[in-house]
């Protein structure tokens, strides 16, 4: 078990280094020198030199790369171009609002989608199943932006069931503000998720152990909830991890629409302000969290399915 | 002798029963696909979108879209085809903008596929066929690339290359090949030690001819399956990127239209959002259904 975990951690090292290299090449080499973008066309030579020195663009590339690696390790990404705030502080203060939105959204969506997937698979081939699959495909095809815009317009603006946008740190009010974004996240993800979990479950229902369980006289709910669900955990976990980047980015479109000051909002502001260091930090952070998520899943696999271990 | 004859007849019989005698994978799949009425409709929907895009590009229809056809925010009316979806803030026809948005969406799907398919197939084939350090290197490269959350990578590339449609083509092209490369690599690993490849090798076929002439045709249906998914996700990504202001500039795009609609909705102007959303919904739905049907028809093992 520990050997397996250790080997998995060792395996991520080349990926981590590769990610650092790709982001560095993108931002420091392809992106070139963003000084002029920051200062505008009428900058004096002295201003340019100062900025270049402050952000280290006057150093040779290998030195810049070492500096970037140091930033990753120390979690100190310097200051934003646009707001001159410390990026570390920006990220730390954005984490809370993001998680307030994404964690409940993610848990509610996953639990409901898995249960619906089981239910639909239980009715396989019947009209309920067919209808559900059609609804899923329709739901998947509606653009995410349309869900958000129509939801905000009808449910918040027209009907006044939810606040249109904003955020409060106070817990009771906090959930009032994230309720609609959570609902929309749920609706956006539901189609794809239910269909995915239905397929994962159906793949298991043809297995021998299901037939054995039936022959033993177990009731269908017991077979589905106890045996099939357990065996479908590997694809379910995989799908959960695939959705982690979405989770970390705090469903960034939702945050931006509803004025939630989370990581997604920071990213969108950085795009609008051409804020190089913030974007670079966000790209690095989300990637590393994603790799961490992958690692955790690999470890969880061994808990839900002992056969995975020691390969 | 009789024994052999019987065994041959039974073999023939069993082949006839499955109905696949003398039929290639492709004609077989086509037959299966034709039974799927929905899939056929979806196929023609996509062809229709492609034709609209092509006609719009050459100025046969919806030209010029910049022309003022009414006052600002005229609601939809049936008095003229130009006004069927109303007008935008500058009095331009929303219907024409939807058509030109189709052109942008389809071109993004096409160009990004033209970049990503050759890259994905070649790298996947080389990795799977040769194995060893080449495989390690290619797998490392695409694992790394796919570790960066897709939307972050797209934002980073378009942001760095400067806004515009070229940046979107490149960003989607260089990110979309990973999925295909993974599948092709897996198939090549399965196929490279099969008898027909070994036979080709003993007849003196070079590596190159074994990869492209012998194995590739046997796994090429995965390219088709992948293509419909890729096309659709390219269209979706273009809309998001254009919405964020990183996409097409000075041209109508569904994403830009939806971005405009953000402020229009509170004034009760819903037609720009409805037009762009409906156009996008139909084509994405068509790709979703066709993609499923293609997978069922071409790769019957996966259900």
Q: What is the pLDDT of residues B200-255, one digit of tens each?
A: 888 888 888 888 888 888 888 888 888 888 888 898 888 888 888 887 878 888 88
> If you measure CA to CA, which chain B residue comes closest to A134?
B289
Task: DSSP letter for A40, please.
Answer: -
Helices (H) then strands (E): counts for chain B: 13, 0
Q: Do the Cβ atoms of B47 and B298 come closer than 8 Å? A: no
Question: What pLDDT does residue A245 have?
Answer: 66
What residue spans define the domains of chain A? 89-263
* A281/A68 Cα distance (integer angstroms): 10
Question: What pLDDT does residue A10 have?
Answer: 86
Question: What pLDDT does residue B301 have?
Answer: 58
Q: Answer whether residue A97 shows pLDDT above 80.
A: yes
B59 or A307: which carries more pLDDT confidence? B59
The predicted model gives A223-241 an average pLDDT of: 82
Question: What pLDDT does residue A29 have?
Answer: 75
Give the B-side interface with A, CB within 8 Å.
Answer: 140-141, 143-145, 147-153, 155-157, 159-161, 236, 239-240, 243-246, 254-255, 258, 261-262, 265-266, 273, 277, 280-281, 284-285, 288-289, 292, 303
Q: Do the Cβ atoms of B211 and B131 come closer than 8 Å? A: no
Question: What pLDDT does residue B11 have?
Answer: 41
* A297/A294 Cα distance (integer angstroms): 5
Question: What pLDDT does residue A37 have?
Answer: 63
* Short-list B68, B60, B108, CA closest to B235: B108
Q: Which residues of A touch B244 (CB under 8 A)?
A: 268, 271
* B131/B180 Cα distance (integer angstroms): 17
Question: What pLDDT does residue B57 have?
Answer: 84
The predicted model gives A30-40 an average pLDDT of: 65
* Cα B233 from chain centroid (whole Å): 7
Q: Answer whether residue A220 shows pLDDT above 90.
A: no
Interface membership of A158 toward B (CB under 8 Å): no
Interface membership of A271 toward B (CB under 8 Å): yes
pLDDT confidence bin for A27, thresholds 50/70/90? confident
**Per-residue CA distances from B99 to B21, B57, B166, B282 (Å):** 46, 10, 20, 13
pLDDT confidence bin for B2, thresholds 50/70/90? very low
The predicted model gives A214-220 an average pLDDT of: 84
Question: What pLDDT does residue A183 have?
Answer: 87
Q: Answer whether residue B3 shows pLDDT above 60.
A: no
Q: What is the pLDDT of residues B152-197, one digit of tens each?
A: 888 888 877 877 888 888 888 888 899 899 989 988 988 888 888 8
Assign a CATH topology to domain A89-263. Answer: MetI-like fold (1.10.3720)
Name which of A104-113, B3-12, B58-67, B141-150 the model is least confident about: B3-12
Q: Do the Cβ atoms of B53 and B107 come closer than 8 Å? A: yes
User: Hey, CA dihedral for B253, B255, B258, B263, is it positive or negative?
Assistant: negative
pLDDT confidence bin for A249, thresholds 50/70/90? low
Q: What is the pLDDT of residues A280-297, one digit of tens each?
A: 888 898 888 888 888 888
Q: Is residue B264 part of a domain?
A: yes
Q: Do the Cβ atoms of A68 and A74 come closer than 8 Å? A: no
Question: What pLDDT does residue B133 have?
Answer: 92
Question: What pLDDT does residue B7 have?
Answer: 41
Question: What pLDDT does residue B137 have?
Answer: 92
| CA terminus-to-terminus distance, chain B | 42
Averaged pLDDT score across all residues of chain A: 81
Task: DSSP letter for A307, please.
Answer: G
Q: Is residue B197 part of a domain?
A: yes
Residue located via tokens 């959930």? A175
Rounded to the nearest 10°, the torsion over CA B49, B51, B56, B59 is: -170
A183 or A28: which carries more pLDDT confidence? A183
The predicted model gives B109-117 an average pLDDT of: 91
Q: Answer whether residue B282 shows pLDDT above 90.
A: yes
* Short-list A246, A245, A291, A249, CA closest to A94: A249
CB contact under 8 A, B151 and A283: no
Q: Which residues of A touch B156 (CB under 8 A)?
A: 23, 26-27, 279, 283
Residue to mutate among B38, B41, B142, B156, with most A CBs inside 10 A, is: B156
* A155/A157 Cα distance (integer angstroms): 6
Question: What pLDDT does residue A309 have?
Answer: 58
Q: Is B288 helix (H, G, I), strand (E, B) or coil?
A: helix
Q: Is residue B175 part of a domain?
A: yes
16-75 in A: which are within 8 Å (CB) of B? Answer: 18-19, 21-23, 26-27, 30-31
CATH number of the domain where residue B115 is located: 1.10.3720.10
Question: What pLDDT does residue A112 have?
Answer: 93
Question: What pLDDT does residue B300 have?
Answer: 61
Instruction: Please report, rounded to a whole number, the percentage of residues in chain B having pLDDT higher than 70.
Output: 90
Residue to mutate among A21, A27, A38, A141, with most B CBs inside 10 A, is: A141
The predicted model gives A34-38 an average pLDDT of: 64
CB contact under 8 A, A146 and B273: yes
Instruction: Please report, rounded to a whole number, the percentage of residues in chain B having pLDDT higher than 90.
Output: 17
A52 or B260: which carries more pLDDT confidence? B260
Question: What pLDDT does residue B12 have?
Answer: 42
**Per-residue CA distances from A191 to A14, A134, A143, A294, A295 (Å):** 35, 9, 12, 24, 27
pLDDT confidence bin for A246, thresholds 50/70/90? low
CB contact under 8 A, A143 and B280: yes
Q: Do the Cβ atoms of B180 and B116 come closer than 8 Å? A: yes
Q: What is the pLDDT of residues B269-278, one digit of tens each?
A: 888 888 889 9
CB contact under 8 A, B144 and A18: yes
Q: Which residues pair with A79 in a beta bridge?
A: A86
> If you measure CA to CA, which chain B residue comes closest to A267?
B152
Supply the ipTM of this predicted assembly.
Answer: 0.81
> If you measure CA to CA, which chain A residue comes closest to B287?
A141
- The total number of structural domains in chain B stands at 1
Q: Which residue range forms the structural domain that includes residue B109?
A: 25-298
C-alpha count within 13 angstroms, C-beta hemisphere, residue B110? 12
């Amino acid at each position: 078990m520990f050997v397996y975990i250790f080997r998995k951690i060792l395996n991520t090292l080349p990926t981590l280094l590769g990610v650092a290299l790709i982001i560095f090449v993108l931002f420091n080499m392809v992106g070139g020198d963003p000084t002029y973008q920051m200062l505008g066309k009428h900058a004096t030579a002295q201003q340019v030199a100062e900025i270049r020195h402050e952000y280290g663009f006057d150093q040779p590339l290998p030195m810049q790369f070492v500096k970037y690696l140091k930033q990753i390790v120390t979690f100190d990404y310097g200051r934003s171009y646009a707001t001159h705030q410390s990026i570390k502080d920006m990220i730390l203060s954005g984490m809370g609002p993001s998680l307030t939105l994404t964690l409940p959204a993610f848990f509610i969506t996953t639990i409901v989608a898995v249960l619906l997937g089981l239910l639909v698979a239980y009715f396989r081939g019947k009209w309920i199943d067919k209808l559900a699959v059609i609804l899923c495909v329709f739901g998947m095809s509606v653009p995410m932006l349309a869900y958000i815009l129509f939801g905000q317009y009808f449910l918040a603006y027209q009907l006044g069931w939810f606040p249109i946008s904003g955020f409060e740190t106070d817990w009771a009010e906090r959930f009032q503000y994230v309720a609609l974004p959570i609902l929309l996240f749920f609706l956006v993800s539901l189609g794809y998720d239910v269909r995915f979990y239905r397929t994962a479950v159906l793949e298991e229902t043809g297995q021998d152990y299901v037939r054995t369980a039936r022959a033993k006289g177990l009731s269908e709910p017991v077979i589905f909830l106890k045996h099939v669900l357990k065996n479908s955990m590997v694809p379910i976990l995989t799908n959960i991890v695939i959705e982690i980047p979405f989770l970390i980015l705090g469903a960034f479109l939702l945050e931006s629409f509803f004025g939630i000051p989370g990581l997604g909002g920071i990213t969108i502001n950085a795009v609008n302000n051409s804020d190089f260091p913030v974007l670079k930090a966000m790209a690095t952070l989300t990637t590393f969290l994603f790799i961490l998520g992958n690692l955790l899943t690999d470890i969880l696999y061994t808990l839900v399915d002992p056969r995975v271990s020691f390969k | 002798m009789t024994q052999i004859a019987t065994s041959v007849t039974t073999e023939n019989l069993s082949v006839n029963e499955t109905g696949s005698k003398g039929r290639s994978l492709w004609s077989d799949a086509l037959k299966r696909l034709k039974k799927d009425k929905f899939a056929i409709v979806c196929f023609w929907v996509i062809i229709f979108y492609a034709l609209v895009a092509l006609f719009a590009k050459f100025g046969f229809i919806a030209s010029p879209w910049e022309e003022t056809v009414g006052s600002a925010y005229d609601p939809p009316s049936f008095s003229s085809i130009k006004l069927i979806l109303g007008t935008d803030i500058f009095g331009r026809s929303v219907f024409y903008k939807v058509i030109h948005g189709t052109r942008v969406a389809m071109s993004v799907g096409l160009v990004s596929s033209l970049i990503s398919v050759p890259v994905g197939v070649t790298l996947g084939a080389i990795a799977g066929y040769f194995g060893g350090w080449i495989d390690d290197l290619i797998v490392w490269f695409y694992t790394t690339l796919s570790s960066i959350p897709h939307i972050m990578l797209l934002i980073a590339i378009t942001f760095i290359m400067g806004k515009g449609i070229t940046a979107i083509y490149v960003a989607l092209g260089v990110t979309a090949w990973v999925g295909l490369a993974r599948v092709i690599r897996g198939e090549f690993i399965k196929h490279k030690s099969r008898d027909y490849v070994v036979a080709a090798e003993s007849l003196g076929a070079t590596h190159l001819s074994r990869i492209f002439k012998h194995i590739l045709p046997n796994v090429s249906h995965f390219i088709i399956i992948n293509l419909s998914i890729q096309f659709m996700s390219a269209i979706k990504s273009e809309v998001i990127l254009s919405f964020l202001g990183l996409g097409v500039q000075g041209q109508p795009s569904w994403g830009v239209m939806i971005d405009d609609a953000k402020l229009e909705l509170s004034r009760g102007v819903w037609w720009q959002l409805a037009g762009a959303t409906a156009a996008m919904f139909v084509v994405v739905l068509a790709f979703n259904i066709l993609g499923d049907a293609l997978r069922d028809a071409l790769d019957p093992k996966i259900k």
